[in-house]
A and B are shown apart, each in its own frame.
Chain A
Amino acid sequence: QKEVEQNSGPLSVPEGAIASLNCTYSDRGSQSFFWYRQYSGKSPELIMSIYSNGDKEDGRFTAQLNKASQYVSLLIRDSQPSDSATYLCAASGAGSYQLTFGKGTKLSVIP
Chain B
Amino acid sequence: GAGVSQTPSNKVTEKGKYVELRCDPISGHTALYWYRQSLGQGPEFLIYFQGTGAADDSGLPNDRFFAVRPEGSVSTLKIQRTERGDSAVYLCASSLSGATDTQYFGPGTRLTVL
Q: Which residues does A use to contact B, with CB under 8 Å? A: 4, 8, 31-32, 36, 42-46, 49, 51, 88, 90, 92, 95-104
Contacts and interface: CB of A to CB of B under 8 A. Distances in A.
B65 to A, nearest CB: 16
A70 B4 CA distance: 32
Given A88-B43, A101-B43, A104-B41, 4 more contacts: A49-B100, A97-B33, A98-B58, A101-B42
Contacts of A46: 102-104
Contacts of A49: 100, 102
Nearest to A104: B42
20 contacts: A4-B42, A32-B100, A43-B91, A43-B105, A43-B106, A44-B43, A44-B91, A46-B102, A46-B104, A88-B42, A90-B42, A96-B99, A97-B31, A97-B48, A97-B50, A98-B48, A99-B33, A99-B103, A101-B42, A104-B41
Interface in B93-114: 95, 98-100, 102-108
A28 to B, nearest CB: 18
Interface string B74-106: 000000000000000001000100111011111
Interface residues of B, number: 27
Nearest to B3: A43
B45 interface: yes
Contacts of B59: 98
B2 to A, nearest CB: 14
Given A42-B107, A43-B105, A43-B107, A101 B100 contact: no
Contact of A43 (B33, B45, B55, B108): B108
A8 B91 CA distance: 21
A42 B4 CA distance: 13
